[in-house]
Structure 1
Amino acid sequence: MADTFQLNLGSLRSSVNLTLHTHHASRLWFGRQRSDNKPGMIGLSGFSNIINRISAGAAKDDPYSDLFLIIIEDKIEESEQQLTAIDERLDQVMAMLPKQLDVGTNLSIQPLKLPLYLNSPLAFKGVYLLTRYDELVRRILLAAHIGLIDNGSKEGWLDEGAAVLRRLYGVGQRYKGYSGASRDDIAANNARATNAKEMYGFLEMPQDVLEGTRRSKFAPAIQRPGDAPASSSSGDDGFDGDSADEDEHLGGMTSSHAATEMSEA
């Protein structure tokens, strides 16, 4: 006999928290406010919000948002390779440690703990990169503390790793928002398409992205007019992310920045 009742299940939810042990990584989460002496710098928190906006545009069949997801995905993979290269150089340095010495892992006695409110898999990929940098910083500081590298090498490697992430965040800042045009609008070459092309005149649109045959592996499903909205009642088991701005949930938390015994000045 067929079931005569319908399950009314809510969306899946999960608590996700991030722990950082270094000031260097913490600064890359929060970014830096613009001041008279220094320009502003976007952090991972702001970058994640941009990815959420790009994903929302891609779900509306905006080819320009889809292209940005591809660009960011490629940049994340490139950043992973660059951090891996630094890590391998550190392995060579740490291999010089005398076998008679057993050096433990350096962890903060008061790490920074952050709740994450992310809706995009690519945003989580960005978090993974930040945790890798946090570990790199700890290893670099340890290598300097026990005399395997000098202060100049320490500062150079710290800056090199941070620059990898800053370049990634800078890619997201080039996104100007939802273009307002779908692929059908581009095909019809209507006013919305004209406005979109003017907005993103600095981008060269590949034909396969325009046609929708190439999308990011993490692109959301396209919701076209007339499609039923995605919901938990449709039978798909999806996580219901919190779309709130992370910065609103992190107010007052900067005082808990990690304090390590090794200098991070």
Structure 2
Amino acid sequence: MANEPLQLNLGSLRSAISLTLHTHHASRIWHGRPAAEGRPGIIGLNGYISVMSKMKRGAEQDDPYSDWWMLRIEDKLDDTKRCLQTLREQVEQALASVPPALSLGENLNLQPVKLPLFVNAQLGFAAIYLLADYDDLARKLMLAHHTALIDRSTLERWLNDGAHAMRSLFALAQEYCFSGATRADFAENNAAAQAAVQKFGQLPQELLEGTRRSRFAPPIARRGGSRESAAAPTAVELTFASIDDPTGTAARDEDATQ
């Protein structure tokens, strides 16, 4: 009895995460933009996170196109971050012109919205950080305009520049589609691989070989249940929920139908 191994029935890790937004500008980005006459709709951050979950599952299933998409999203996230950083530097420069005798406090919403987040994709978290950054940027811009440091046209232009950068990221993610082909299919050059190439185009050899993957790529689930190491292993598995579905039930139901 003393030599028998100790059985530890450990459950899954969970972490309570929420996002607090103070501006309507950031809230609209969370919800997305509905389709209107002459322009298509764009998913919001909640829809983007759902796409990132599907993309991560695709990469886990050894779909090289999903790995290619993860790399594209990483590059787009970097571009968006640089855009917001440029806007932040501009508004900080404007706020720096306040006379030393004048003290400006933070302009916080008296009734901010607090959104519960249940996210299972690191590229989803990366966009959440950007939205939080944009919310902070919008507050500073409105403060600068209220205190006559920037004019109305500058306020609107910089707010729109930041919002456009965020929506451009989401619009790119909207184009993602699971190919249904694996690297084994490409090694065999079978019908599944040929159909994927015809629909999505040719991929670089390093992606087909799996030597180039996103730093947040999940381990590849091989047939038989084994997993192959990825560029960066995942740590905590969470379930996505939207503001309209805080329990994540709809997302789990959707996953069950995939």
TM-score by length of 1: 0.85
CA contact (8 A) 1:31 1:44 kept: yes
**What residue is the counterpart of 1:218 in the other structure?**
216
Structure 1's 14 and 250: CA in aligned 2 closer, same or farther, altered over 3 A?
closer
**TM-superposed deviation, 1:89:** 1.1
Mapped partners of 1:75, 1:140: distance in 2 = 24
Q: Offset at 1:78?
A: 1.6
SS in 2 for 1:113: strand
Whole-angstrom CA distance in 2 between matches of 1:72 and 1:146 = 37
Structure 1 residue 211 displacement after superposition: 1.0
User: 1:102 aligned to 2:103?
Assistant: yes
Question: Which residue is equivalent to 1:239?
Answer: 236
- Deviation of 1:138 after TM superposition, in Å, equals 0.3
Tell me how large the CA RMSD over aligned residues is.
Answer: 2.1
Measured in 2, the distance between the counterparts of 1:4 and 1:84 equals: 54
Q: Could you tell which deviates more after superposition, 110-119 or 35-44?
A: 35-44
Change (3 A) 1:237 1:61: closer
Bigger relative contact order, structure 1 or 2 (CA pairs below 8 A, ≥6 apart): 1
Q: CA 1:81 to 1:12, structure 2 compared with 1: closer, same or farther past 3 Å?
A: same
Q: Name the structure 2 match of 1:257.
A: none
Q: Classify the secondary structure of the residue corresponding to 1:18.
A: strand
Cα displacement (A) at 1:37: 7.4
Partners of 1:248 and 1:25 lie apart in 2 by 17
Does residue 91 (structure 1) correspond to residue 92 (structure 2)? The answer is: yes
> Percent identity between the aligned chains?
44
Match of 1:187 in 2: 187
Moved more, 204-213 or 74-83: 204-213
Residue 136 of structure 2 corresponds to which residue in structure 1?
A: 135
CA deviations on 1:228-262 (whole Å, 9 max, x unpaired) are 479xxxxx99423115x5254159xxxxxxxxxxx
Corresponding residue SS for 1:8: coil
Aligned to 1:167: 168
TM-score using structure 2 length: 0.88
Residues 8-36 of structure 1, C-alpha deviations (whole Å, 9 max, x = no match): 10011111111000000000001133355
Distance in structure 2 (CA, Å) of the matches to 1:168 and 1:121: 15
Superposed CA deviations along residues 157-190 of structure 1, whole A, max 9, x for unmatched, are 00011111011111101112x2111111012110
Structure 2 stretches of 5 or more lacking a match? 248-258
* Cα shift at 1:105: 0.4
- 1:92 CA displacement: 1.2
